[in-house]
Amino acid sequence: MGAQLGRRVFFCLLIWWVLGSASCGRGGGTESFSMDPNRQAERDRLVDDAIIPHGVRDPAVIAAMRKVPRHRFVPPSYARSAYIDSPLPIGYGQTISQPSLVAEMTEHLTLKRTDKVLEIGTGSGYQAAILAELVDRVFSVELIEPLARQAERTLAELGYMNVKVRVGDGHEGWPEEAPFDAIIVTAAPEQVPQPLLDQLAVGGRLILPIGKDLQQLELYRRTESGYERKALTLVRFVPLVRPGGGK
């Protein structure tokens, strides 16, 4: 009788240990990481705790931030940190942007479903996926070919068929597909590339960081007679480099 009781206690402890270890880990939100492969609860917390308090109000942008699985766009070694409001390395000296900044920049573009958008700096494809939830067509340019190809694969696996990615110099935009209703640049040139301004449709918006180490986030709108400029906030992005390493 004592041996049977001992075995029962042992098996109960074993089950408790297995279930407990499955839900434990480093950092916050790990329980939903292990129990929910889609990690919806973590995305909801990110939106509720960081993105809405940051001032983002557009319901469509908020819905996109709740839907797109950011953990699919970061290296496996950083997957547990995917829903922290912070940039993360994605390789080749590049980063995936802070989620609240992604949401803020997207909201400033005041996108419509029928819009055609150009993104400069595909990176891992996360910003492109957010845009793809909001507009008809997204064209994204990435200088680093391995990042572009990985982004293409991830976007395709997630069903984003309205995104096209090309390898090229972001300073030159995508002239064959111009004009664009909106352009977003996720790396920092030292000056506004004129080809990007030229590729805006009348009424189109361009948002980008300008500067070297600490940059100014700026918003441009093309009018019938020129461009309107608005300074937004200070940010820090990786440089927008040219082929061969030039800026």
pLDDT in tens, 87-130: 999 999 999 999 999 999 999 999 999 999 999 999 999 999 99
Calpha distance 231→117 (Å, rounded): 21
Q: What percent of the chain has pLDDT over 70?
A: 85
Calpha distance 241→227 (Å, rounded): 25
Phi and psi torsions of 67, nearest 5°:
-90, -45
pLDDT of the residue at 35: 67
Q: List the structure tokens of 42.
A: 């973590």
Least confident of 30-39, 55-64, 97-106, 110-119: 30-39
Helices (H), the chain: 2-22, 30-35, 40-46, 59-67, 99-108, 126-132, 145-157, 194-198
pLDDT-derived band at 36 (thresholds 50, 70, 90) equals confident
Q: Provide the whole-model pTM.
A: 0.84
28 pLDDT higher than 80: no
Q: Please compute the mean of the pLDDT values over residues 67-96 and round it to a whole number.
A: 97
Phi and psi torsions of 146, nearest 5°:
-60, -35
Q: At what angle do helices 59-67 and 99-108 cross, to 10 degrees?
A: 150
pLDDT of the residue at 169: 97
Q: Any idea which residues carry the catalytic annotation?
A: 97
Strand 200-210 and strand 180-185: the pairing is: parallel
38 pLDDT higher than 50: yes
Q: List the structure tokens of 109.
A: 């573009």
Query: Which tens digits make up the pLDDT trace of 118-140?
Result: 999 999 999 999 999 999 999 99
Name the DSSP class of 212. Answer: S
22 pLDDT higher than 60: no
User: Which amino acid makes up residue 155?
Assistant: L
Compare 165 and 8 and report the one with higher pLDDT: 165
| Beta-bridge mates of residue 95 | 89
pLDDT of the residue at 247: 55
Q: Please compute the mean of the pLDDT values over residues 232-239 and round it to a whole number.
A: 95
10 pLDDT higher than 80: no
Q: List the structure tokens of 81.
A: 């940190």
Calpha distance 237→216 (Å, rounded): 10
| Beta-bridge mates of residue 210 | 216
pLDDT of the residue at 184: 98
